[in-house]
Amino acid sequence: MVQALGRQVLVEFYGCDHRILDDVVQVEQILRRAAQKANATIVQSTFHRFNPYGVSGVVVIAESHISIHTWPEHGYAAVDVFTCGDTIDPWAAFKHMEIEFGAKKLSVMEMRRGIFEMQDGEQLMHKPADARLVV
């Protein structure tokens, strides 16, 4: 049996509202709300507005991340929703962003990450939320 550690949804939004894509506060709010809609646990977020336009940012979630880079002058946003575990729904995050950015066209694909062949009865466990890396 094949199992994966995570799911990664890669999205390209076209025909979006250029004013929203250039508003760093609004973009951060949309991605944070997308994380909540996906049932993810927000750890922190950081966003930056470029001069003369464009926004990049990431919402770090306990289950991985949601990131974005926008090109308001083209009405375009590239988004990455990477989730681990069975309780997170990356497609709920995707749908929320599609609506909020006002995307008229999109391209989306899902990849399974960290794929392992498991023996009968064996399960691939995701690390607990409170796990710490010891170096």
Could you list the active site residues? 64, 69, 84
CA dist 21 and 56 (Å) reads: 10
Beta bridge partners of 10: 80, 109
Q: What angle do CA 67, 61, 116 make, to 5 degrees?
A: 90
* CB neighbour list of residue 44: distance below 8 Å, 6 or more residues apart: 59, 60
